[in-house]
């Protein structure tokens, strides 16, 4: 196995719908990237084979052999034990991914060091090294999409906790009487402020007789409503859509207040599709931090939007693999 620091790093971000592979230089510059569908519903083995094919493809496209890599970094949704390189629990979009020793599988296949990290933690590391958080020593990232994930940078280092599973921000309890979450808890932030939560609330409100342009946008079928539709309707002044977003933003604000009070970060970075709604969704949360967080911490924190978009995960996975390879050869 190769362990040189100066060699390229290959990074992969395995999502519910697509696999993004990218090649990085030793100093963290993206050299090439490629995308293929995940097709997660086919099962674990076909996805792993697709992942391996994607790695082979980008190596071939760039006239490289696996032995020339300094390591492979893999970002993956779900509960990750980074120390052992295992996907312990699956994300909702990756059914069946439980107790999968993915780092070992890739290591054996390509004969090169492989490292695995939760996708949201990878995004936090990516934004810290190459995006909105460059030069910031203490930050917390929220990924606000279909679900809610998180990542923590403490004193300039990625914080992973005891087994690599830290920063499950979406699963902090916000309302103990709230809806049941897929994790088994109730009232998680993810169930109250994510895109899925917004969709669920919109469907419920329309089925209860609420009047909104969303009905027409969804073709008269409430179950067709998406978070994007709610955002569009809210931006056009739809009262019900605005109320739904305000409710989700309120819960997001509570989550951010908790994070500010616990970690006192210099920066909170908000990424994901819901963050793209801008002040319509983020504004109320910022206001709540000012009003409710411990004053000395609330005055110190900046709340910004992410810069790397869908590529944050591969940037972070590459940085993670590079860091771990250096430690092994130090």
* pLDDT, tens digit, 9 for 90 and up, residues 221-269: 889 999 999 999 999 999 999 999 999 999 999 999 999 999 999 999 9
pLDDT reported for residue 6? 64
Does residue 208 carry a pLDDT above 50? yes
pLDDT grade for 217, boundaries at 50, 70 and 90: very high
pLDDT reported for residue 90? 84
pTM confidence score: 0.92
Q: CB burial class (10 A; 0-12, 13-18, 19+) of residue 330? A: exposed
Does residue 16 carry a pLDDT above 90? no
pLDDT grade for 1, boundaries at 50, 70 and 90: very low
- Please tell me the CATH code under which domain 9-119+310-329 is placed: 3.30.420.40
CA 292: distance to chain centroid?
Answer: 26
pLDDT averaged over every residue in the chain: 93
Tokens representing 237 are 């002044």
Between 165 and 268, the higher pLDDT residue:
268
Helices and strands (H and E) in the chain: how many: 11, 12
pLDDT reported for residue 61? 95
Residue among 71, 250, 75 at smallest CA distance from 151: 75
Task: Write the DSSP assignment of 199-266 as a string of letters.
Answer: HHHHHHHHHTT---THHHHTTT-GGG--HHHHHHHHHTT-HHHHHHHHHHHHHHHHHHHHHHHHH--S
Intrachain domains 9-119+310-329 and 132-306 with the same fold:
yes
Does residue 330 carry a pLDDT above 60? no
Right CATH for 132-306 from 3.30.420.40, 3.40.50.360, 3.10.310.30, 3.90.25.10: 3.30.420.40
Q: Where are the domains of the chain?
A: 9-119+310-329, 132-306
Does residue 62 carry a pLDDT above 60? yes
């Amino acid at each position: 196995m190769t362990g040189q620091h100066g060699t390229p790093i290959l990074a992969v971000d395995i999502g519910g719908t697509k696999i993004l592979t990218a090649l990085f230089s030793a100093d963290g510059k993206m050299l090439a990237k490629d995308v293929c569908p995940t097709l997660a519903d086919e099962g674990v083995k076909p996805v792993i084979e697709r992942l391996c094919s994607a790695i082979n493809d980008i190596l071939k496209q760039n006239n490289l052999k696996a032995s020339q890599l300094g390591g492979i970094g893999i970002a993956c949704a779900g509960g990750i034990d980074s120390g052992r390189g295992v996907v312990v629990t699956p994300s909702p979009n990756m059914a069946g991914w439980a107790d999968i020793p993915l780092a070992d599988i890739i290591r054996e296949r390509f004969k090169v060091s492989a490292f695995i990290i939760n996708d949201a933690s990878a995004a936090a590391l990516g934004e810290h090294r190459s995006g909105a958080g460059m030069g910031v020593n203490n930050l917390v990232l929220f990924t606000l999409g279909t679900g809610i994930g998180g990542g923590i940078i403490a004193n300039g280092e990625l914080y992973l906790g005891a087994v690599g599973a830290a920063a499950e921000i979406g699963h902090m309890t916000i309302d103990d009487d709230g809806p049941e979450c897929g994790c088994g808890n109730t009232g998680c932030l993810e169930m109250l402020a994510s895109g899925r939560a917004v969709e669920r609330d919109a469907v419920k409100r329309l089925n209860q007789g609420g009047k909104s342009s969303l009905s027409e946008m969804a073709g008269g079928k409430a179950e067709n409503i998406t978070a994007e539709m709610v955002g569009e309707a809210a931006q056009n002044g739809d009262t019900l859509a605005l109320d739904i977003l305000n409710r989700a933003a309120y819960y997001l604000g509570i989550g951010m207040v908790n994070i500010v009070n616990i970690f006192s970060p210099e920066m909170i970075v908000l990424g994901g599709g819901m963050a793209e709604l801008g002040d319509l969704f983020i504004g109320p949360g910022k206001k709540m931090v000012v009003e409710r967080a411990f004053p000395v911490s609330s005055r110190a924190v900046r709340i910004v939007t992410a810069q790397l978009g869908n590529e944050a995960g591969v940037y972070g996975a590459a940085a993670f693999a590079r860091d771990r390879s250096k430690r092994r050869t130090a």
